[in-house]
A and B are shown apart, each in its own frame.
Chain A
Amino acid sequence: MDPDRPLLISLDAPGIPDDQIVGGKAAKLAHLMRAGFPVPRGFCLTTWAYEAFVIDARIIPAIRMELGRKSMDDMRWEEIWDAALRIRSTFLTQPLSGLLQTTVAEGLQLFNSSTRLAVRSSAVGEDSAGHSFAGLHESVVGVRGTRAVEDAVRLVWASLWSDAALLYRQELGLDPARSRMAVVVQEMVDADRSGVAFARDPRDLRRDHAIIEAVPGPCRLLVDGLVDPDRWVLDRATQGVVSWLPGQREDSDQAPLLQSEDLQHILQTLLSIEQLFGWAPDMEWTGRADSLTVLQARPVATVMPDDDAKRSWYLTLRPGDARLKALRQRIAGQLIPELAAAGEAFASEQLDQLDNQQLADAIEQRSQALVKWKKIYWDEFIPFAHGVRRLATYYNDVVTPEDPYEFVGLLRDQPLLATQRNSVISQLAQQLKSNPAVRAAVEELLTSQTHALPWSSFRDALLQRGGGAEEFVHTFDEFQERFLDVTFDHERLREHAGPLLRNLVELSRYSDPPEDHRVSPSHASATLEEKLLVAVGSERRAEAIDMIETGRVSWRLRDDDNLLVSRLDSQCLRALGVAATRLRELGRLTGDGHLDDSYLARLVCGLREPATAVITVEDSTKSDVSQSSVRPQGETPRQLIGQPASPGIATGVVRCISGRDDLGKFRRGEILVCDAIQPTMTHLVPLAGGIIERRGGMLIHGAIIARELGIPCVNGVRDVTKILKNGDLVTLDGHLGIVTVGAADFDLEIGGVH
C-alpha cells in the first residue's frame, strides 16, 4: 500500500484526517474522538480505496456512458433513477480486488466477528456549513461478517451516484473522474433512547434556542421518520426548557422520554461541539446522560439548498420500507375500493331524472370528488409507485443479477385492469374475425358516417343490419360499461366508440394471439421469487416476501389507480354533458366547441340561476403538437438515441398518437410514436410493430407492456414526437435503444455531388 495514499485510516489514528481523504462525516467523527467525545469505534475506507476500486473495476467509463446517454437536463426523474440503478448494479457486480479485501479484513480486526456494524457514506464536501445533503447517500446498518461488509461498502460507494445525488449533481459537483466517496465502518451503539439535537433551531438560526428530539430505541427510527419523537426546545443561555411536545406514538404513556439531566447533558455536548468546530451542530446521539454516544455531527442547515421545488418533491417519492407497507395497506385495503365505489356510484346515478338543482349538486359533488382523489393520487398513489423501485434495489442487492431489470419477472401476470381490458378487446376482435358479415357491417358504418356516432346509435344501426351482431353488441356493451368509462385527451372514450371500433376491425384481420416472446422460463415469476428467497436466507424470508408483495401491489395499483381516477373524470364530464344538453334545449347554451371542466362553474350557475347569460362553448381547435416539427431546415435526423426498453428490432412507418382521433388511424405494423403509452391506449400495443416514446424509463407503462408482448420499444427519445412525422420510415432497435430514420438501404453518394 502506498503510504501517501492510505486505503484505511482508523478513526482514532493520530492527527486530524483530511476531509478530502476520509470525507466530511469521518473527518468530524475522528475530530470528535480525538477531542474526547464518546464516538463508536471504527475505521474509514478512504477516498483512495474508492478510487482503487473504480479504476480497477473500470467503472468510470460505465458511469460516463450512463450519464452521457443524453443531456441530464433532458432526463425525467425516472430516467435518472434508471441510470442510477444501472450504475449501482455495476458497482455491486464487480468484486473487490485482493488488496481491498485485505484492507477491509484489516479494518475488521477492530471488532469481534459477531459485532453489528454500521457502514455509512462519508462523501467529500457533504455537510459543509450551510449545506446539508443528508439522505442523498446510503448507510447500511446491522452488518455482520466480512462478506456483508464488502457488499455494504460497494453499496455505499454506489450511492455517490444515487438518483437523489444525481438530482443534485451540480451542487455536489459530481464528476465521474473526480468525485470520491469514503466509507465509515463503526460499531453500532443502540441505547434505549436516541435522537437528533440541534444547537440552534433550524427554522430560525438567529433564535437562542436549541432543539432536542428523542425516540425510544435506535436513532434510525427517527431519521427514517418511523417514530414520532418527543421534542424539547431549550434556551441556550439559561439551559431551561422552553417547551416540550410529546411524540404521537402508539402505547405512549406520554411520560417524557428524557429527564432533566439527560437534556442538560445533550445540550452541554452540543455546545462543546459548537466550541470545538466553530459552528452550531446538528447531532445524532444515542444513550442517556453519562452514557451518551455521539453518532454524527454536522453543521445545522436550515433547508436543503434548493430553488427547484420539483426536485425536492422527487425526494419525497422514495418512502422508506415501513411507510411503503403502511401505504400498501391503506391503498389496497381502503383507498382503491373507495375510489372504485365512488366511480361505480357516479356511473349508476340516473342524471336525467334529476332536476336542475340536483344536477348542479351532482356536478359539484363529482368535481369535488375528482379534486379529492387527484390529491390522494399525488400524495399517496404516486409515492407508493416507489414500491416497484424499492423491490428492484432489494432484489439487486441480494441477488446481484447481471441484468438489473431481472426483478421485473416478479411482476409478471399481475391482474391489472389494463390487462383485463385488453383481453376483452381480443375477444371482441375474435368475434369480428369469426363473423365476417358483422365485420363488414361495422366497416361500412364506420366508412359511411360523416360525424362520429355515439355507440348507442351505432349499435342500433348495427343490429338493424342483422347478420348476428347480437353477440358482438352485447360484449361491446359490457366492455363500454366496464372499461370505456375513462377519458383520453380530455374526452370521454364512451362517447367516441369510432376509434376503438376501427382498432377492432384492424385487430380482427390479424387477431391471432401475439406470438409469445416472453423471457425465458428461468425468469418466470415463481423462479425469481425462489431465487430471491434462497439468496436472502431464512432469517430475512418474511421481509423478502413482504417486499415482493409491496412491489407487486405497487405495480398493479399504479396502473389501476390511473384508470379509476380517469373514471371519475369521465363521470364529471358525463354530468357536464347532461347539463349542456339541458341548457342547449332551453336555448341557454350555444356553440359546438368541446365541453371540458373549464365550463363547470358556468354550467352549475346556469342550472341554478335561470336568469344567467347564454353560455357559449368556444371551438378551441387543439394544436397538433406531434406535427410541430423541431427539425432544423436542411437537417435530416438519421439516428436517435434512447433507452433500450424492450428487445427486438422493427422497421415500419411512424404513426404519431397525440389525440383521440389518432387512435382509430392506427394500422397493424406501424411504429407507435407518442409521448407516453397511457393505460387507456394499451390496446394499440399488440397492433404495433414497435414503440417509440418520448418519456423514458424502464418501468413505465409502455416499456413493461412492450416487454410482455415481445414488441421492440425504445423510450426516452428526446423530442421524438416533434422530430418524427406520420409516414416516416424508421427502424428501431430495442436491444440498443437506437432509432434509425429513413430506408435501411442507405443512399450512397453515387453519381457525383447533387
Chain B
Amino acid sequence: MIEVEQLSKSYGPREAIKNLSFQIEKGEVVGFLGPNGAGKSTTMNILSCIMPASSGSVKICGFDVFEQALEIRKIIGYLPETPPLYSDMVVYDYLAFAARLRHVPLKNTQSAVEKVIEKCSLKEASDRIIGRLSKGYQQRVGIAQAMVHNPDILILDEPTIGLDPIQIIEIRKLIQELALSHTIILSSHILPEITQICKRVIIISDGQIAAVDSLDALTTRLRKGERLVLNVRRNNSEILEKLRALKKVNAVTEHQPANYTIDCEPNADIQDEIAQLSLNNQWGIVELKPVSMTLEDIFLKLTLEESEVP
C-alpha cells in the first residue's frame, strides 16, 4: 500500500533523512521509533504530501506523492506533531470544516462529524471553543480531524505527546480500535506505546533506518547475549567468583545480596551448569530464569550502536 524507496530529504546542508526504504501493507499498524530529531516527522510530512522529498520516491496506493498529491490527500488522514487546531473555532465547526476540506459531501458532513465525535468521545466538548479545551481534548480533536473523512491511511505523529497517563491510555485504546479498520502509521519516542499498539516497528536513528521488523523478530535478533537471573537462599562471597569462572559467562553482577544477574553469550545454555554448581555447593537455588530484553533495551542499544559506527 505504501512503498518508500531511497527517500532522502535535506534542509540546506543538513540531511534529515537518508535513503529510507520500506514498505507498508494494507491493514498494518506500523510504528516509527526513534529519538528526537531522528527524522520521524520529516518522513511523515513527506508521506502526507506536505513537503516534497529531496530525492527518492513514495507511492501510496499506486499514486506518487509528488505527482498525484491531491489523490493521495483524499485517502490519508494526518495528525501533525502539533495538532492543526484553530483555537478560536468551536469543535463541531472545526470538524465540519475539516470534513468539507476533505471532500465529504455537504449532506454527509453532519453524520461524518457526529461519528468521529462519538468515536473520539468528544461529545461533551463538541460545542466548546478549541482554545479553551485541555491538552488531552485538543489532541483528541486532532485525531478526530484526521479521521473525519474516513481515510484508508492514518498518519499520526506522536499522538500521545504531552498527555497525562490516563489520557495516554484513552488515546492508545482509540488507536487500537482504529487499527481494526485502518492502516496506521504512528510515530513515538515512548516505547511502551509502540509495544502495545504496533505489530511492526521501523526504527529510525540519525535519518537512517536502523531496523524494520516485527517486535518478536526484533527481540530475538537483538538478543545478542542472554541474561539470566539467579536467586539463592544462602549467600556467600564465593558465588560471584564461581559464576564468573564459568565458561561462556561475560559478566555477573550482584544487585541485592543473593540476587545475581548473569550475562552470557548467545545460546550458551548454561542453566544446567549453574544448577549443578548450586547443588554441589549447597547455595539453595530459589530462582533461575532467562530474561528477555524489553524494547527499551533494544531501542537504547540500537541507537547507541548506530552512533558508535564511525
A, B bound: no
Interface positions of A (Cβ within 8 A of B): none
Interface positions of B (Cβ within 8 A of A): none
